């Protein structure tokens, strides 16, 4: 109790003085959130008062206004600390490895000490401190946030509308068992557990095939809830509106139908709502990460699936301009950057196309936040660089290529990865063409070196530049 009160008081004071920022690093599964946070921490910790050549486009670092950066104790002691040291150790292995994907919530806090350049304090040579709070969490859990506004019936009907041929083929074992289930009969715990497992297997199969829109997200990454009845329910996709009404009016409170409703509501109110209130209600700045290349390797459906997942997320964040009252009582996100990751997996001349593709991916959500009057930006980066750009001469012609250790066979290769479309090709394109963007391993990292990156300095400038003035 004392820890909670102290945390809330510190947050209130820092918000009032505008010296703290809570950063929402948002993205679906495998979008690169953990790699992004690891690199962001690393770039900041390597800032010094002599040479910051690793961040040429981050003004406070280039102009030597930042006096120092260090990790400090977080305010909420109940949340695990972000495992920055472990991730750095993975990158320093021989051969190096990317940090492991997130499997739970974690947090880190940075204190950035800087020389003020504007306002009265600049004349007094006064220094200031900006506290930056960053949270990491599984992308799978993020997709549960839309459930907050949906009843069991509404959720089932929304999933039914997204149920395309590819999903139906993967779901056949689960659908066959649901079809035989008498929803008015008294519920059997073992039967529910088995059908819920079949539904979980279906979600895992979707994930393996590049489909991102997976609900409920904790079914594929349950953490401490594994085996709990709270994760033993599933949607009913085949019911008509009349059948829904009949079941709601006549089903026994211990029937399969009623138990499914009860478990969904428990999951929505006790698990999803708590997750939202604990981590998502008070952000100030946001980045949305998306791997636009990997879905292109799969299908148009995979790309559309990712677009749907990201579109759903915008409904669960508060956007708007910041001033004293909103900082204190209703924090809102006032700056948002859309970031396409893995920019090092393509040649530099294709980066504008990758940014354009990102714009098309989030077009609906981007229009929404721009309407709210907040500042937005689009970029393409590599948080942890895996390749080098090279020029290759072949048959007397020069062209750009990339060089790195290919993940599929761990061989060093020099390849032209191909062109990136400026927008999503139509379905007919995939019938006769195929994208094959390779995955690459990270570059070697020696102890004491900063993590190699592409354009992380532009990200830092957008997110923090105005707060370190």
pTM for this model (two decimals): 0.88
pLDDT for position 70: 97
Q: What is the mean pLDDT of residues 206-219?
A: 89
Work out the pLDDT band at 400, boundaries 50, 70, 90.
very high
Work out the pLDDT band at 366, boundaries 50, 70, 90.
low
Q: How far apart are CA 469 and CA 461, in angstroms?
A: 11
pLDDT for position 367: 62
- Highest mean pLDDT, choosing among 19-33, 232-246, 371-385: 232-246
Task: Identify the CA nearest to 458 among candidates 56, 171, 73, 122.
Answer: 56
Sorted by sequence, the CB contacts under 8 Å of residue 165 that are 6+ apart come out as none
Q: How far apart are CA 381 and CA 289, in angstroms?
A: 10
pLDDT for position 420: 93
pLDDT for position 432: 77
pLDDT tens sequence across 273-289: 998 888 777 889 999 99
Query: Could you tell me the two tokens for 355?
Result: 């940014």
Q: How far apart are CA 306 and CA 362, in angstroms?
A: 10
Lowest-pLDDT range of 60-74, 359-373, 426-440: 359-373
Percent of the chain with pLDDT over 90: 61
Q: How far apart are CA 309 and CA 144, in angstroms?
A: 10
Q: What is the mean pLDDT of residues 412-417?
A: 93
Per-residue pLDDT at 455 exceeds 90: yes
pLDDT tens sequence across 29-46: 888 999 999 999 999 999
Lowest-pLDDT range of 7-16, 274-283, 385-394: 7-16
pLDDT tens sequence across 300-312: 888 888 888 888 7
pLDDT tens sequence across 113-146: 999 876 554 444 578 999 999 988 888 888 898 8
Task: Identify the CA nearest to 435 among candidates 294, 336, 316, 338.
Answer: 294
Q: What is the mean pLDDT of residues 196-201?
A: 96
Q: What is the mean pLDDT of residues 186-201?
A: 96
Per-residue pLDDT at 344 exceeds 90: yes
pLDDT for position 307: 86
Q: What is the mean pLDDT of the chain?
A: 87
Work out the pLDDT band at 12, boundaries 50, 70, 90.
very low
pLDDT for position 440: 96
Give the bridge partners for 376, in sequence order.
336
pLDDT tens sequence across 49-90: 999 999 999 999 999 999 999 999 998 888 899 999 999 999
Give the bridge partners for 379, in sequence order.
339
Per-residue pLDDT at 13 exceeds 70: no
Work out the pLDDT band at 368, boundaries 50, 70, 90.
low
Per-residue pLDDT at 329 exceeds 50: no
Work out the pLDDT band at 328, boundaries 50, 70, 90.
very low
SS3 content of the chain, % helix, strand, coil (to 5): 45, 20, 35
Give 273-311 as a DSSP string: HHHHHHHTSS-SEEEEEE--HHHHHH-HHHHHHHHHHHH
Give 206-235 as a DSSP string: HHHTT----SSGGGTS-GGGTT-GGG----
Q: How far apart are CA 446 and CA 96, in angstroms?
A: 10
Work out the pLDDT band at 15, boundaries 50, 70, 90.
very low
pLDDT for position 325: 41
Per-residue pLDDT at 444 exceeds 80: yes
Task: Identify the CA nearest to 105 among candidates 24, 201, 39.
Answer: 24
Q: What is the mean pLDDT of residues 222-237?
A: 93
């Amino acid at each position: 109790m004392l820890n909670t009160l102290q945390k809330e008081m510190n947050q209130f004071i820092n918000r009032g003085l505008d010296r703290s920022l809570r950063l929402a690093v948002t993205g679906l599964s495998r979008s690169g959130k953990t790699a992004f946070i690891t690199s962001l921490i690393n770039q900041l910790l390597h800032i010094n008062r002599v040479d910051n050549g690793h961040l040429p486009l981050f003004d406070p670092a280039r102009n030597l206004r930042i006096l120092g950066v260090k990790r400090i104790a977080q305010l909420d002691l109940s949340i695990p600390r972000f495992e920055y040291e472990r991730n750095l150790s993975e990158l320093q292995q021989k051969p190096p490895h990317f940090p492991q994907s997130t499997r739970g919530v974690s947090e880190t806090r940075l204190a950035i000490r800087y020389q003020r350049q504007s306002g009265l304090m600049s004349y007094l040579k006064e220094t200031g401190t900006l506290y930056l709070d960053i949270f990491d969490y599984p992308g799978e859990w993020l997709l549960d946030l839309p459930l907050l506004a949906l009843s069991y019936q509404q959720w089932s009907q929304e999933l039914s509308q997204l149920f395309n041929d590819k999903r139906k083929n993967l779901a056949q074992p689960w659908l066959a068992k649901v079809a035989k289930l008498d929803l008015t009969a008294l519920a059997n715990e073992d039967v529910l557990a088995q059908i819920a497992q079949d539904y979980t297997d279906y979600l895992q199969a979707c994930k393996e095939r590049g489909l991102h829109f997976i609900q409920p997200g904790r079914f594929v990454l349950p953490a401490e809830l594994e085996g709990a009845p709270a994760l033993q329910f599933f949607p009913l996709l085949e019911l008509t509106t009349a059948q829904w009404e009949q079941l709601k009016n006549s089903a026994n409170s211990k029937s399969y139908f009623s138990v499914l409703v009860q478990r969904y509501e428990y999951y929505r109110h006790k698990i999803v709502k708590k997750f939202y209130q604990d981590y998502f209600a008070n952000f100030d700045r946001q980045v949305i990460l998306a791997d636009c290349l990997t879905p292109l390797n799969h299908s148009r459906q995979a790309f559309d699936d990712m677009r749907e997942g990201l579109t759903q997320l915008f409904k669960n964040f508060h956007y708007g301009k910041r001033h004293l009252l909103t900082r204190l009582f209703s924090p809102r996100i006032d700056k948002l950057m859309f970031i396409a990751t893995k920019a090092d997996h393509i040649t530099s001349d294709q980066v504008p196309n990758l940014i354009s593709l990102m714009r098309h991916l989030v077009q609906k959500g981007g229009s929404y936040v721009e309407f709210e009057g907040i500042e937005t930006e689009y970029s393409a980066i590599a948080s942890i660089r895996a390749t080098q750009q090279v020029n290759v001469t072949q048959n007397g012609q020069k062209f750009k290529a990339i060089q790195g250790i290919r993940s599929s066979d761990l061989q060093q290769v020099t390849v032209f990865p191909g062109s990136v479309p400026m927008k999503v090709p139509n379905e007919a394109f995939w019938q006769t063409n195929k994208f094959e963007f390779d995955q690459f391993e990270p570059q070697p990292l020696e102890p004491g070196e900063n993590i190699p990156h592409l354009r992380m300095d532009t990200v830092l400038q957008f997110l923090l530049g105005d707060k370190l003035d």
